[in-house]
Amino acid sequence: MDLILLGAPGAGKGTQGSRLAETLGIPKVATGDILRESVREKTPLGLKAKEYMDAGELVPDEVILGLVHDALASPAAENGVIFDGFPRNVKQAEDLGRILEKAGRRVDGVIVLEVPDDAIVERMSGRRTDPDTGLVYHVVHNPPPAEVAGRVIQRADDHEDTVRHRLKVYAEQTAPLISFYEREGAVVSRVDGTREINEVQAEILRVLRP
């Protein structure tokens, strides 16, 4: 089963993708993760990606697609994968479709985590990270303990103006994938991502196993 998790930044794709991977026994393919792993392991594609990263440039689609192709070809992925954060636009979706088709596979389902923009902004702009441990807190929902409160920081990409810009980019470039996959005949399921994590997971499993 090859699945795609869609949703705005902060909608919970990473959390739900990891939980789904464990429950379904298939790997989660997050392009950021496989990019960092390939760079760390100094694979040919990883070294090529590092050249762009060191120059402060975006890694081109062809390199990302090469990494996705390699991830799909691994023995761990023979029964399917969960794509988290990929594809990001219709062009990448079309390229992914061709890669899957050559392997005799297709996108079996698309899960869209729906969370209103204002809730996303509240989630992300309230996050604080402990630079010493990497633990993430939230000023409202999970305040840092008194002993670490003085050292937690707000990451630059969690500032409200940055979050709103990322939401705008998502609406313009990634959200159109929903109608793209509907036209392609994939099963697209919308899930309310504002609920408690376990409730969201239960709803995703319900739509996958009706």
166 is catalytic: yes
Residue 12 DSSP label: S
Instruction: Answer yes or no: are the C-beta atoms of 5 and 13 closer than 8 Å.
Output: yes
- d(CA 205, CA 208) in angstroms, rounded, equals 5
Catalytic residue among 36, 50, 88, 164: 88
Catalytic residue among 13, 19, 123, 128: 13
106 is catalytic: no
164 is catalytic: no
Residue ranges of E strands in the chain: 3-7, 28-30, 82-84, 109-114, 127-129, 136-138, 187-192
Catalytic residue among 36, 105, 166, 190: 166
Catalytic residue among 40, 151, 155, 168: 155
Give the angle subtended at the CA of 125 by the CAs of 123 and 198, to the nearest 5°. Answer: 15
Tokens of 51: 């050249």
Catalytic residue among 19, 28, 123, 127: 127
13 is catalytic: yes
Catalytic annotation, residues: 13, 88, 127, 155, 166
